[in-house]
Chains A and B, each alone.
Chain A
Amino acid sequence: DGGITQSPKYLFRKEGQNVTLSCEQNLNHDAMYWYRQDPGQGLRLIYYSQIVNDFQKGDIAEGYSVSREKKESFPLTVTSAQKNPTAFYLCASSPLGVRNTIYFGEGSWLTVV
């Protein structure tokens, strides 16, 4: 089935450790996105990429890094510089263009203790 796969679904890490969240899509979409969601809050854009080997900072990029070496993959690394990394992380993708429905993965819960 076509879609977006995020892994792992649940992740626990100790403070000070970097952690990488995986996101893979087989929808052949050019654009991919990472969002962060805190309890009871909306989605905040971390990074986005519209083409392989290029990506742009979103609204809350500090403490995060990404790569886009392949069209179908857009991993997010939460670094130790992120002050409060515990959150729900959502990956998404869309075609480029004026009409660009965004498709989401099921999300990854990161808990840092």
Chain B
Amino acid sequence: DAKTTQPPSMDCAEGRAANLPCNHSTISGNEYVYWYRQIHSQGPQYIIHGLKNNETNEMASLIITEDRKSSTLILPHATLRDTAVYYCIVNDMRFGAGTRLTVKP
């Protein structure tokens, strides 16, 4: 079983920030949190990863709580093209069901 828990679906208005949560309460000290997204009928695409500190790249920001038991992926200005399934995994090859994000006009 996947080591993470995510809500099955979320909606977000276009242009607003999308905040996608992930719980990983059993994470161990040297395990990284990874986020991927999958647009329909394509292979998942890497977005960002982190260990303890918050991370930001051109696609998104990753906020990891101090106890590392949860994290939030932030898409700062969501567009219609961000509609996808987002997966959070912890140093593992197993993906759960992810969160289906729908960005609405």
Stretch from B17-25, B36-44, B62-70, B74-82 at the A interface: B36-44
Contact present for B43 and A92 (CB under 8 Å): yes
Distance A41 CA – B87 CA, assembled complex (angstroms): 12
Contact present for B95 and A43 (CB under 8 Å): yes
Contact present for B98 and A104 (CB under 8 Å): no
Which residue in B30, B34, B43, B49 is a CB contact (below 8 Å) of A104? B43
Give chain A residues whose Cβ lies under 8 Å from the Cβ of B45: 104
Distance A103 CA – B93 CA, assembled complex (angstroms): 11
Instruction: Report the contact-size class of chain B (Cβ under 8 Å from the partner).
Output: 20 to 34
| Whole-angstrom distance between the Cβ of A71 and the nearest chain B Cβ | 18
- The proximity string for A residues 75-113 relative to B, scoring 1 for CB distances below 8 Å and 0 otherwise, is 000000000000010101010001111111111010000
Contact present for A106 and B94 (CB under 8 Å): no
Give chain B residues whose Cβ lies under 8 Å from the Cβ of A94: 93
Contact present for B43 and A106 (CB under 8 Å): yes
Give chain A residues whose Cβ lies under 8 Å from the Cβ of B43: 4, 90, 92, 104-107
Distance A48 CA – B43 CA, assembled complex (angstroms): 17
Contact present for A107 and B42 (CB under 8 Å): yes
Is B53's CB within 8 Å of the partner chain A? no
Give chain B residues whose Cβ lies under 8 Å from the Cβ of A88: 41
Give chain B residues whose Cβ lies under 8 Å from the Cβ of A107: 41-43
Interface residues of A (CB under 8 A from B): 4, 31, 33, 35, 41-43, 45, 48, 58-59, 88, 90, 92, 94, 98-107, 109
Interface residues of B (CB under 8 A from A): 30-32, 34, 36, 41-46, 49, 85, 87, 91, 93-98
Q: List 7 A-B contacts (CB under 8 A).
A: A33-B93, A43-B44, A90-B44, A92-B43, A98-B32, A99-B49, A104-B44
